[in-house]
Amino acid sequence: MKRYSAFAVAREALRYNTGWGRAWRSPEPKKHYDVIIVGAGGHGLATAYYLGKNFGITNVAIIEKGWLGGGNTGRNTTIIRSNYLQDPSAAIYEKARSLYEDMSQDLNYNVMFSPRGVIMLAQTEHEVRGYKRTAHANALQGVPTEWITPARVKELVPIINLAGPRYPVLGGLWQERGGTARHDAVAWGYARACSDMGMDIIQKCEVTGVRRDGDRVVGVDTTKGAIDCNKIGMVVAGNCSALSDMAGFRLPVESVALQALVSEPIKPCMDVVVMANTVHGYMSQSDKGEMVIGGGTDAFNNYTQRGSFHHIEETVRALVETFPMVSRLKMLRQWGGIVDVTGDRSPIISATPVEGCFVNCGWGTGGFKAIPGSGWAMAELMAKGTAPLAEEFSMTRFREGKFIDESVAAGVAH
């Protein structure tokens, strides 16, 4: 595979780019793989990548019903942060964040990780206390975050209206090393690297059944025929209930629509990511210039990738209040994704009642930031049977009552 570099780009430019090969191959499936990953979203691809990179397991197929990266990975607001309250969350998100820092170099694909900083605004006393608590927790978790004053907020976000007037900004939790990344590039970069290791990415191929021998998994049925394997990793986000049904177990997950929208592009006006949870709005500006805005989730099961307009209304209303200049911008496009939400709104990275079958799901509204960390942990779990980062995210926690609840510190999950 050709290495990407400024030099290569220049050389190719001179010969009209005729020398660029495919970023990933498009092979026909083989009869058997050691591991099949179902779902070529960020988490599936990252799992495959670290199976290869960390454990030398490369006889792997990644099976995708649509186009790789076309699920939630291709439709999220790209916020990356690790200032979570609970230890298990902070551990895996911080692992992910630190992997993001080197991802472009590691994959030789510029994923444009932009550590521009994330502010979570505190606009009620309750939030102030919640975020101070998080800051204390983060300090002990090795996640550098900072409680900042309103004046500092204004410095970082000149377009904000500190005075409210309804919910004056009382401060904020600032993670300087948080930021955004180019979401599609994350999927493409992993895909290219996986393909390069000899893994097969099989697109437009839907898994329609999970084949078992007793309690053990032996393969999958797909729209391109049956494929054998020793282990399966189900990494299909909003479709995880359908997949677990095929394997014969149930998951504590519901699939709901989450929406986002972008404004028309404008010149740079906001250099950090801002999350305003009291009024339900978050926003960042992409490198192209659009304001990227996250909306709310519907409360009913839905597989249409569309959501209800009143969530868009609620979000925009909040942002107009928080950033008055937004009022005279225009919405360019809105869309939805189907997110998989668990009982405690934290993910599942877990072995399942079916031997050889592993599941990674439940990232809900906030799993983009976790992609490398989750792939890392999932690969370790699949290769070795246990992984410290995944330990607490087992699906058995619901039975024990051992939840990982992040909402407690006034936080949301994005």
Partner 1 sequence: MSTRLATRGRLIDRSKPIEFTFNGTSLRGFEGDTLASALLANDQMLVGRSFKYHRPRGIVAAGSEEPNALVGLGSNRRYEPNQRATTTEIFEGLTATSQNHWPSLEFDVGEINSKLFSRFLSAGFYYKMFMHPKPFWKHVYEPFIRHSAGLGKAPDKELQDADTYEHFYFYCDVLIVGGGVAGLQAAKTAASSGAKVLLIEEKNYWGGRTPVDGGTIEGDDAQDWVTKTVAELEAMENVILRSRCMGAGVYDHGYILGYERLTDHAPDMAGPRHRLWRIRATQTITATGAIERPLSFAGNDVPGVMLAGSMRDYIANWGVLPGQRVVVATNNDDAYRTALALHHAGADVVRVVDAREEGGGKLAEEVRGLGIRIDNGRAIAKVKDGKRVTKVAICPQNGTGGAREEIAADAVAMSGGWSPVVHLWSHCGGKLTWDAEQAHFKPDPLRAPTGADGKAFVVTAGSSSGPMDLKSVMANAAKAGINATQAVGRTAVDAGEIKTSVISEAPMLPVWLMPANADIELRMKTWLDYQNDVKVSDVQLAAQEGYESVEHTKRYTTLGMATDQGKLSNINGLAILADSLGAEIPQVGTTTFRPPYHPISMGAIGGEARGEIFQPLRKTPMYAWHDDNGADWEPVGHWRRPYAYVQDGETVDQAVNREVKNTRENLGLLDASTLGKLIVKGPDAGKFLDMLYTNMMSTLKIGKCRYGLMCSENGFLSDDGVVARIDEDTWLCHTTTGGADHIHAQMEEWLQTEWWDWKVYVTNATEQLAQVAVVGPNARKVLEKLNATAGGGLDLSAEALGFMEWADGKIGGFDARAYRISFSGELSYEIAVPASQGLAFWEALVEAGQEFGAMPYGTECLHILRAEKGFIMIGDETDGTVIPQDLGLHWALSKKKTDYLGKRAHSRSHMADPDRWKLVGLETLDGAVLPDGAYAVGEGVNANGQQNTIGRVTSTYYSANLERGIAMGLVKHGPDRMGEVIDFPGLDGKIYQAKIVDPVFYDKEGEKQNV
Partner 2 sequence: MLILECPYCGVKAEESELSAGGEAHLTRFGPGSSDDEFHDYLFVRENPKGVHFERWRHANGCGKWFHAARCTMTLEVFGTYSAQTTEPPQEIKDVITAKRPGWSWRNVSDETNTEGQRT
Ligand X SMILES: Cc1cc2nc3c(=O)[nH]c(=O)nc-3n(C[C@H](O)[C@H](O)[C@H](O)COP(=O)(O)OP(=O)(O)OC[C@H]3O[C@@H](n4cnc5c(N)ncnc54)[C@H](O)[C@@H]3O)c2cc1C
Chain residues that interact with ligand X, rule: CB under 6 A: 38-44, 63-66, 70-73, 75-79, 206-207, 235-237, 239, 243, 258-260, 294, 337, 339, 363, 365-369, 414
Residue 149 binding partner 1, by CB under 8 A: no
Residue 208 binding partner 2, by CB under 8 A: no
CB 283 within 8 A of CB 130: no
Distances (CA, A) of 300 to 255, 259, 347: 8, 13, 19
CA 122 – CA 31 distance, rounded (Å): 55
CA 313 – CA 310 distance, rounded (Å): 5
The CA R_g of the chain, rounded to the nearest whole Å, is: 21
Give me the least distance between CB of 324 and ligand FMN, in Å please: 23
Structure token pair of residue 194: 């996986």
Q: Please, what sign has the CA dihedral across residues 350, 353, 355, 356?
A: negative
Residue 301 binding partner 2, by CB under 8 A: yes
Instruction: Report what 292 binds from partner 1, ligand FMN, ligand X, none; CB cut-off 5-8 Å by kind.
Output: ligand FMN
Residues whose CB falls within 8 Å of the CB of residue 231, separated by 6 or more in sequence, listed in order: 34, 35, 36, 217, 356, 357, 358, 382
Closest Cα partner for 203 from 186, 179, 187? 187
Residue 320 binding partner 1, by CB under 8 A: yes
Given 65, 81, 177, 183, the residue binding ligand FMN (CB under 6 A): 183
CA 224 – CA 227 distance, rounded (Å): 9
Instruction: Report what 185 binds from ligand FMN, partner 1, partner 2, none; CB cut-off 5-8 Å by kind.
Output: partner 1
Single-letter amino acid code for the residue at 280: H
Residue 299 binding partner 2, by CB under 8 A: yes
Residues 374-413 binding partner 1 (CB under 8 A) are 388-389, 391, 397, 399-403, 405, 407-409
Give me the least distance between CB of 319 and partner 2, in Å please: 19
CA 210 – CA 232 distance, rounded (Å): 9
The nearer residue to partner 1, 66 or 150, going by C-beta atoms, is 66
Residue 306 binding ligand FMN, by CB under 6 A: no
Given 150, 252, 265, 289, the residue binding partner 2 (CB under 8 A): 252
Give me the least distance between CB of 390 and partner 1, in Å please: 10
The nearer residue to ligand X, 46 or 170, going by C-beta atoms, is 46
Give me the least distance between CB of 322 and partner 2, in Å please: 22
CA 254 – CA 234 distance, rounded (Å): 16
Given 10, 304, 330, 385, the residue binding partner 2 (CB under 8 A): 304
Residue 293 binding ligand FMN, by CB under 6 A: no
Residues whose CB falls within 8 Å of the CB of residue 346, separated by 6 or more in sequence, listed in order: 86, 88, 89, 362, 393, 403, 404, 405, 406
CA 262 – CA 256 distance, rounded (Å): 20
Closest Cα partner for 306 from 358, 361, 259? 259
The nearer residue to partner 1, 146 or 221, going by C-beta atoms, is 146
Residues whose CB falls within 8 Å of the CB of residue 17, separated by 6 or more in sequence, listed in order: none
Residues 55-84 binding ligand FMN (CB under 6 A) are 74-78
Residues 333-362 binding partner 2 (CB under 8 A) are 342-343
Residue 242 binding partner 1, by CB under 8 A: no
Give me the least distance between CB of 100 and ligand X, in Å please: 11
Given 120, 137, 292, 349, the residue binding ligand FMN (CB under 6 A): 292
The nearer residue to partner 2, 26 or 396, going by C-beta atoms, is 396
CA 270 – CA 32 distance, rounded (Å): 50
Interacting residues toward ligand FMN by CB under 6 A: 74-78, 183, 262, 286, 288, 290, 292, 305, 332-333, 335
Interacting residues toward partner 2 by CB under 8 A: 239, 241-242, 250-255, 298-304, 308-310, 342-343, 398-399
